Amino acid sequence: MISLAVLFGGLSLILFLLFLLTGSPELVSFNLGPNEVLWWDTGLCIAFFFQHSIMVRKSFRQRLAWLLPPEFEGAVYAIASGIALLILMVLWQKSGPPFMGPRGFFRWLFYIAYLLSFIGFFWGARALGAFDPYGLKPILGRLRGKRPRRMWFVVMGPYRWVRHPLYLFMILMIWACPDLTADRLLFNGLWTVWIVMGSILEERDLVFEFGDVYREYQRKVPMLIPRRLHPLPEVGPNFHPSPS
């Protein structure tokens, strides 16, 4: 289980980062027409969104617990999401030559924006502390006989400016590809809408998990777009919300 989670989760993530920067290599061509390509690619995105969104819901995790110990939920999610993402990238169809493709200095601006967004994403992942994209920590803890630790509300790094910096930096990476084709514009739009909707849905789970602590955080820090230069002070596990 651990090996499969690292294989599919890690491989799909590396290839996806290349996909975002360079576009689709169109490994498999179905010789579709321009409109058919866009409908096909839309279907691939919707299929991935459906798999990804269903598996993060609490109701699905409760059903999965009937079959597997809860420590394996993250690894199963990483395997399934990795496979779904690989399918999307392998079967993605290109619509034709780009209608926007800057050259020279302006092209390098896109590459720099992508690099800075990637660094920001890594910064946000490190700030989480408990970031575990492959679901390995619960399994290793189970094998070592350790009990799961309580999740504390902590605000560090870019979380002091926005509540969802990983989503923000992912959106920036999505739009940092310099060559814009019809299928890439479709991809950018669909994924941006899905990420924003996912942020809103995730907010409900976080409010349920942390209660008034997270509501206070919502009042002070914007969801995706930073609005001020001065960040929220770092918040540790002893944080208590101020009276409303």
Say yes or no to pLDDT of 235 above 80.
no
b/e 121-155 (16+ beta carbons within 10 angstroms → b) = beebbebeeeebbbbbbbbeeeeeeeeeeeeebbb
pLDDT tens for 72-83 read 777 778 888 899
Domain boundaries, the chain: 2-220
CB 36 within 8 A of CB 104: no
Secondary structure E strands in the chain: none
**Distance between the two ends of the chain, CA-based, in angstroms?**
46
Digit-coded pLDDT (tens) for 136-158: 666 666 566 666 566 677 888 99
Does the pLDDT value for residue 55 go beyond 70?
A: yes
3-34 pLDDT, tens digit each:
777 677 788 889 999 999 998 888 899 999 98
Report residue 133's pLDDT band, with 50, 70 and 90 as the boundaries. low
- Confidence (pLDDT) at 67: 74
Q: What mean pLDDT is predicted for residues 33-61?
A: 88
Per the CB < 8 A criterion, the answer to whether 138 and 68 are in contact is no
Query: Among candidates 183, 187, 31, 22, which has minimal Cα distance to 107?
Result: 22
